[in-house]
């Protein structure tokens, strides 16, 4: 048996640790998409701060070289800043409670550029700032060339440009997910209508400038469905803001279709802001229901289509991949309280629009009941009325398999039986489920 002593304890430098565990810093290593997004985030932060209005992404597919540039303030080049932010983790100007150059930003961890350098064969920062031109070139994470010279021309091609060639050692493919990048640029273009975004792949260039947020919502969330009236609400609270566009579709898929962004970043896994919006819809529609329609809280999910955009001073996003907003509800309370007041006021003044929604929920529920009766008349089924296995035919139906009668009884009291079926297990069956639940179909 090997001994375990102090000699076995190792301390890795930042670059080595990223290379040993890249997934910890960038999520998936199938493609270098996250590396390109790290550069894009920096340029978009300059746009959000009001200093840049042009961002370019240039992709050379022949040598897998990616470049992102903008016309913002330019990265500082004095005191070796480009080298520091490229080789030392937890370096930057966007940390929560320590911001001096940015109020609103996506970059919050001080890891991004170091990760890009660590996972690239070639990495370069070029800056034009304060009549100076700086270029810092890295190969295999090591600085190979450092140039700072005077630049007195009136026009400059850009302020900051960062390029990289991802290493095949760490990625299965070197081509990024272009659908994700296009989505990032589309969201940025509607949230920053006075900015221009250039995407050039080899010799093919396109300029993205979508200023109509409603058309963007229709394209991304509706897909030519027959819908209710589109409602648009905007809240501003000092430097933070909240925008919500939503409607309902009762003649297509009933699964909610939600798109959201936080500081121009698509937040694929939702989070606090989505839950707060659902809570507001449940509360407002329930209180506004004066015509006796049967309304259940889960009705608000039926056919919902929504786009939610947030600009937050202190966003808290899960992990380095930033795919979920995890701010405490209290930190978003002012914005969403104002939203609740606006939506309540709207439905108080527009009773017909409210009635359309309530009738839509009611009609859909009756259709479900009709299908249930029809199915029951043609199929012999064991009644579940007096058993612990409960029927669930509602939208988004879920089956909860729990350990013991006590847990089942608790869920039965707090779950809608149209939505949730609850099946208690005991003894050996319960232990068996613990293992089986980890296997996918």
Q: What is the CATH number of the domain that holds 193?
A: 3.30.565.10
Residues 249 and 182 in one domain: no
Confidence of residue 422 (pLDDT cuts 50, 70, 90): low
Given a cut of 80, whether residue 28 has pLDDT beyond it is yes
Residues 311 and 181 in one domain: no
Q: Kindly state the tokens that stand for 218.
A: 């229709």
Residue 439's pLDDT is 35
Residue 4 lies in a domain: no
Q: How many domains are contained in the chain?
A: 3
* Domain edge (last residue) among 310, 333, 362: 362
Residue 9 lies in a domain: no
Residue 95's pLDDT is 43
Give the pLDDT mean for 252-266.
92
Given a cut of 90, whether residue 290 has pLDDT beyond it is no
Q: CA-CA distance, 123 to 25, in Å (whole number)?
A: 18
Given a cut of 60, whether residue 387 has pLDDT beyond it is no
Give the pLDDT mean for 88-110.
59
Confidence of residue 175 (pLDDT cuts 50, 70, 90): very high
Residues 150 and 249 in one domain: no
Confidence of residue 403 (pLDDT cuts 50, 70, 90): low
Residues 185 and 84 in one domain: yes
Given a cut of 60, whether residue 433 has pLDDT beyond it is no
Strands (E), 167-276: 196-201, 204-208, 231-237, 240-248, 257-262, 265-266
Please name the residues in contact with 93: beta carbons below 8 A apart, sequence gap of 6 or more. 99, 100, 101, 102
Residues 194 and 222 in one domain: no
Residue 431 lies in a domain: yes
Range of the domain at 199: 14-208
Furthest C-alpha separation in the chain: 86
Residue 402's pLDDT is 62
Residue 423's pLDDT is 59
* Domain edge (last residue) among 362, 394, 416: 362
Residue 107's pLDDT is 57
Ranges 252-266, 312-326, 396-410: which has the least confidence: 396-410
Residue 441's pLDDT is 37
Residues 265 and 340 in one domain: yes
Q: Kindly state the tokens that stand for 177.
A: 């997910």
Residues 229 and 356 in one domain: yes
Residues 268 and 168 in one domain: no
Long-range contacts formed by 128-132: CB under 8 A, 24+ apart: 128/74, 128/156, 128/157, 128/158, 128/159, 129/73, 129/74, 129/75, 129/76, 129/77, 129/159, 130/74, 132/77
Residues 318 and 188 in one domain: no
CATH number reported for the structural domain that contains residue 346 in this entry: 3.30.230.10
Residue 3 lies in a domain: no
Residue 375 lies in a domain: no
Residue 287 lies in a domain: yes
Residue 97's pLDDT is 52
Give the pLDDT mean for 54-67.
97
Residues 141 and 267 in one domain: no
Distances (CA, A) of 109 to 90, 115, 316, 324, 352: 6, 11, 10, 15, 48
* Domain edge (last residue) among 180, 208, 236: 208
Residue corresponding to tokens 């209290």: 330
Tell me the DSSP string of 182-204: HHHHHHHHHHSTT-EEEEEETTE
Confidence of residue 420 (pLDDT cuts 50, 70, 90): low
Residue 2's pLDDT is 78
Given a cut of 60, whether residue 122 has pLDDT beyond it is yes
Give the pLDDT mean for 2-11.
80
Residues 53 and 19 in one domain: yes
């Amino acid at each position: 048996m090997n001994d375990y002593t102090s000699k076995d304890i190792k301390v890795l430098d930042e670059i080595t640790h990223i290379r040993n565990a890249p997934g910890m810093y960038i999520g998936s290593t199938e493609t270098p998409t996250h590396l390109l997004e790290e550069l894009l985030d920096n340029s978009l932060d300059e746009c959000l701060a009001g200093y840049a209005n042009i961002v370019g992404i240039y992709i050379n597919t022949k040598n897998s070289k990616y470049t992102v540039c903008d016309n913002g303030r330019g990265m500082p080049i004095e005191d070796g800043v480009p080298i520091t932010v490229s080789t030392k983790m937890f370096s930057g100007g966007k940390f929560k409670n320590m911001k001096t150059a940015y109020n609103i930003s996506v970059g919050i961890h001080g890891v991004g550029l170091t990760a890009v350098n660590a996972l690239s064969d070639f990495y370069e920062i070029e800056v034009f700032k304060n009549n100076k031109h700086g270029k810092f070139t890295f190969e295999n994470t090591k600085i190979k060339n450092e140039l700072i010279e005077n630049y007195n021309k009136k026009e400059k091609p850009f302020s900051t440009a960062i390029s990289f060639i991802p290493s095949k050692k760490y990625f299965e493919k070197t081509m990024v997910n272009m659908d994700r990048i296009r989505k990032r640029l589309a969201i940025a273009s509607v949230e920053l209508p006075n900015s221009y975004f250039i995407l050039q792949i080899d010799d093919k260039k396109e300029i993205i400038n979508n200023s109509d947020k409603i058309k963007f919502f229709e394209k991304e969330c509706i897909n030519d469905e027959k819908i209710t009236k589109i409602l648009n609400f905007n809240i501003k609270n000092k430097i933070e803001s909240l925008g919500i566009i939503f409607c309902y579709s009762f003649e297509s898929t009933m699964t909610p279709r939600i798109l959201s962004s936080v500081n121009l970043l698509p937040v694929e896994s939702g989070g606090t802001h989505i839950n707060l919006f659902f809570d507001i819809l449940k509360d407002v529609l329930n209180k506004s229901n004066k015509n006796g329609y049967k309304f259940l809280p889960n009705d608000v999910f039926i056919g919902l289509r929504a786009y939610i955009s947030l600009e937050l001073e202190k966003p808290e996003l899960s992990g380095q991949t930033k795919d979920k907003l995890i701010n405490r509800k209290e930190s978003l309370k002012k914005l969403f309280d104002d939203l609740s007041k606006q939506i309540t006021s709207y439905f108080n003044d527009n009773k017909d629009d409210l009635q359309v929604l309530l009738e839509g929920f009611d009609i859909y529920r009756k259709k479900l009941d009709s299908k249930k009766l029809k199915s029951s008349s043609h199929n012999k089924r064991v009644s579940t009325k007096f058993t612990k296995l409960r029927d669930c035919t509602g939208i988004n139906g879920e089956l909860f398999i729990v350990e013991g009668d006590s847990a089942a009884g608790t869920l039965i009291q707090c779950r809608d039986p149209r939505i949730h079926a609850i099946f208690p297990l005991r003894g050996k069956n319960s232990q068996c489920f613990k293992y089986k639940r980890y296997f996918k179909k």
